[in-house]
Amino acid sequence: MTVERALPTPEAHDLIQLTRELVAKEVAPRAAADEAAGRFPREVFATLGAAGLLGLPYPEEYGGAAQPQEVYLQVVEELAAGWLAVGLGTSVHTLSCFPLAAYGSEEQKAGLLPGMLGGDLLGAYCLSEPQSGSDAAALTTRAVPGPDGYTVDGVKAWITHGGVADFYLLMARTGEPGARGVSCLYVPAGAEGLSSGTPEHKMGMRSSPTAQVRFDGVRLPHDALVGAEGEGFRIAMAALDGGRLGIAACAVGVAQAALDAASAYARERRQFGSRIVDFQGVSFMLADMATQVAAARALYLDAARLRDAGRPYGTRAAMAKLFATDACMKVTTDAVQVLGGYGYVEDFPVERYMREAKVLQIVEGTNQIQRLVIGRALAQERPGP
């Protein structure tokens, strides 16, 4: 089913149409085979960059498209519906560009952003570590300042695009324990002492490499620092607020794809002389799935519009990530049930959607962390949106 979208401008309609054409020609046809083989589609990201889809929310002067979050996120949703590895990869790359775009110097922006936004450079975001995931402020990777710059030692874990990225936005400790001692650094992939581990063998998203990234005496110049020393944790949290909306959009895309597959199957499959879509048990299940998808889409778009208006949106982003990813897990599970035995085999895509859905409840802050964020906002005297 083609999703009817309320878009703010004719240009936004053109972007969605372009995205749908690219998904139909370049993305969806190869998803199943590449996932089965664990192939990373680097050339797809180059195609998206050439089409202008990797820099949508960033300024035109640096190669972006200056599109509102409301539009950018719907592009991500369309990409994820075709192939989650591409939709989530686009979201992670956009997240990796945020620290430099929002906090970088003019020299950094002019020198690096055009390649990042044009697709020549693919990014990764390095915050989590083997012993600090949800407790990100406890990170131990250290960047020791010296007369010539910084020397970095440590290990980052669960890094999307680890080992294939062209640059890494690194959160490392430059000062005291806790959040105030963290700084943000730009690390090119060719830096001496930088290496990656064997990609994790994952339940889903096998085309998207997830690996440890190791820093063994990596030397960085002073101008690798993004923002001020000690500002890294604030940068990281600001980036994650936006990243959570990207994950919510990905979840809606996967859920929509699962709903479409289940609905199409139910209209064709006949049992006891009738289409199974005409049985109340199946039609009610599909109705609930469609309602969850629509509600999740409305919630992430509401948060995006708050961000576009310059209003606080962090709590609403946590709500969107929580609801959309839980809904995606439920919708994809129900899609497998609608297809019955066929839903459990790789001949049909819903088994892949179900496996992929699970990771969305974990990345960019687990859904338990989202509940913590929302609960803390409710505990305040005047909680934000």
Residue 321's nearest CA partner among 255, 367, 383 is: 367
Q: Is 25 in contact with 54 (CB distance < 8 Å)?
A: no
Task: Choose the catalytic residue: 70, 78, 364, 381.
Answer: 364
Q: Is 172 in contact with 185 (CB distance < 8 Å)?
A: yes
Q: Is 229 in contact with 174 (CB distance < 8 Å)?
A: yes
Q: 42-50 and 84-103 helices cross at what angle (nearest 10)?
A: 60
Q: How many CA atoms lie within 13 A of 323 on its CB side?
A: 21
**Token pair recorded at residue 232:** 């890294």
**Token pair recorded at residue 23:** 């998904």
Question: Cα(14)–Cα(17) distance, rounded to whole angstroms?
Answer: 5
* DSSP string for residues in 90-151: HHHHHHHHHHHHHH--HHHHHHHHHHHHTTSS-EEEE--BTTBSS-GGG---EEEEETTEEE
Strand partners of residue 382: none
Question: Cα(311)–Cα(100) distance, rounded to whole angstroms?
Answer: 21
Q: Clarify whether 364 is annotated catalytic.
A: yes
Question: Cα(235)–Cα(239) distance, rounded to whole angstroms?
Answer: 6
Other CB atoms within 10 A of residue 377 CB: 18
For residue 76, give Cα distances in angstroms to 19, 57, 248, 262.
9, 12, 10, 22
Q: Which residues are catalytic?
A: 364
